[in-house]
Amino acid sequence: MTLHIADAEQVLTEKSDQLNTRWYPYYHLAARAGWMNDPNGLVWFDGWFHAFYQHHPYSTEWGPMHWGHARSRDLMRWEHLPVALAPEGPEDKDGCFSGSAVVNGNELALIYTGHKFHGDPSSEDNLYQVQCLATSRDGVNFTRKGQILDTPSGLHHFRDPKVWKEGEMWYMVVGARVEDTGQVRLYRSEDLHHWHEQGILAEAPHGMGYMWECPDFFTLDDKQVLMFSPQGMAAEGYANRNLFQSGYIVGRWQPGEKFIQESKFQELDHGHDFYAPQSFLAPDGRRIVIGWMDMWESPLPEQQDGWAGMFTLPRELVITPNNQLQMRPVHEVESLREEWYSWPVSTLKNKQLCVMHNCEAAEVIVTWDTSLSEAEQYGIALDDGMRLYIDNQAKRLILERNYPQHNLCGQRSIPMPTGDELNLRVFFDRSSVEVFVNDGEACLSSRIYPQQRQLNVFAWSGNAVLKECGAWNLR
């Protein structure tokens, strides 16, 4: 069945007026209605930040993929635009899968995966994924140019192109699966239409996944970073606890040479919900990344409300001398701040105190003096459903959610950072929490579904000392 943009727009107009907004985000980007997953085509074009996304307008379940579209002047306040792509042609008849966007002269170019079956769709032997192109002069209406790269012989999973320009040449990485081994393949072009294979940029060693989705390849402080989402990695201790992971490898590369890896795979975000991150360059040179703040095969309670899925806050990426990527919220988030409320608490001992009665859209700052805090557990809690706390015995910072009514319970954690202070910058929205540790040393992002929104600070089995604590309400 061919699906058209006009049909999608009509459905979205009807469905967007019927949403239950109890968990719909205030300041994170979500679809007008229906399903959303991977960020696509993040780009600055003609005075706007553009964000596209995998989208099924017709239901809150994953389905034949379209490209939803929104734009913003400041990365915080988003204007929804018409659906950019629908599966309207023979090259993408079963879905317009993930991809990227580049500015080519006075045009905005979308490069995406056309998903199609030749025959019975129940058999992957009939699956073909090809790379396609669409262009626009106004950044709103796109002209489809069709297939630009066919499925390599013997492959079926071949998707998620990320394109960039190096000198006078365009380059593209594409995720692939060869039997049970994930790969990232490299291509080169002079015109975005004709592509030439440049070999395998990187391949999964044993245990590193059967498919590498959503590859991204970029330079940061003279290092090259391969960011991707491997499927099929086994959990190991506290690591790789989600169904699928997202992370990166740092190394060195230049055109015509091999990618020399200088680090092992490292997870980018340690929360319950982070997948398919994509990066882009802002006009001022910042490398900014946005991820999908959900996880495959995880309950999505908002589906009953007419929508599903949202993006993380945009985050600026920096790299440390020891090849660690750090993420911190873009400075534009500060434009959402209203009045600062300082909490009148400095020491806690075997008690819990309410510090906010309605923590719905807020930026919370908490700095613990860890050298003077010997409580077994101390932290903050959003009623009974979410806790962010230090476990002094395990020496870990733990993000815990407890929503048994939605089958969402469990913990994600990181080792306690070194030093005498622990600074936590925590962003709450209606159904999400994002924790930034020590100005980007680590990040934990998770969906939450509070019934009540009272925020408490607590310390059990001992005392804990706060050096700073308070919050901005975010408009």
What pLDDT digit, counting tens, does each position of 302-349 carry?
A: 999 999 999 999 999 999 999 999 999 999 999 999 999 999 999 999
Statement: residue 215 has pLDDT above 70 = yes
Which residues partner with 158 through β-bridges? Answer: 176
87-123: per-residue pLDDT in tens? 999 999 999 999 999 999 999 999 999 999 999 999 9
Helix, strand, coil % in the chain, rounded to nearest 5: 5, 55, 40
- Which is nearest to 385 in space by CA: 460, 456, 449? 449
Task: Give me 197's structure tokens.
Answer: 């294979």
| Ramachandran class of 285: left when φ > 0, alpha when ψ lies in -120 to 50, beta otherwise | left
Q: Poorest-confidence range of 1-5, 275-279, 284-288? A: 1-5
CB atoms within 10 A of CB 93: 17
pLDDT at 233: 97
Of the candidates 257, 263, 264, 292, which has an alpha carbon nearest to the alpha carbon of residue 278? 292
Helix, strand, or coil (residue 229): strand
- What are the strands of the beta sheet with 158-166, ordered from one edge? 158-166, 169-178, 181-189, 195-203
Per-residue confidence band for 137, with pLDDT thresholds at 50, 70 and 90: very high
How far is residue 333's CA from residue 436's CA, in Å, rounded to a whole number? 13
Helix (H, G, I), strand (E, B) or coil at 406: helix
Q: Say how far apart CA 205 and CA 212 lie, in whole Å.
A: 12
CATH superfamily placement of domain 5-329 = Glycosyl hydrolase domain; family 43 (2.115.10.20)
pLDDT band at 2 (very low <50, low <70, confident <90, very high): confident
Indicate the residue type of 380.
I
Span 336-474 CATH architecture: Sandwich (2.60)
Confidence of residue 1 (pLDDT cuts 50, 70, 90): low
Q: In the beta sheet, which residues pair with residue 326?
A: 318
7 torsion bin: left (phi>0), alpha (psi -120 to 50), beta (else): alpha
How many helical (H) and strand (E) elements, i.e. helices and strands, does the chain have? 1, 33
Q: Is 38 an active-site residue?
A: yes
Instruction: State what percent of residues in the chain have pLDDT above 90.
Output: 99
Spans of all domains in the chain: 5-329, 336-474
Token pair, residue 385, equals: 């459903």
In order of 259, 363, 411, the CA distances from 406 in angstroms are 44, 26, 15
**Quick check: 81 pLDDT over 80?**
yes
Sign of CA dihedral 237, 241, 245, 247: negative
**Which of these is catalytic: 7, 38, 92, 284?**
38
CA distance 68 to 81: 8
Read off the pLDDT of each residue in 442-461 and give the average, rounded to a whole number: 97
State the burial class of residue 188 (Cβ atoms within 10 Å of its Cβ: 0-12, 13-18, 19+).
middle
Average per-residue pLDDT in the chain? 97
Rounded mean pLDDT, 80-92: 97
Whether residue 3 is predicted with pLDDT greater than 90 in this model: the reply is no
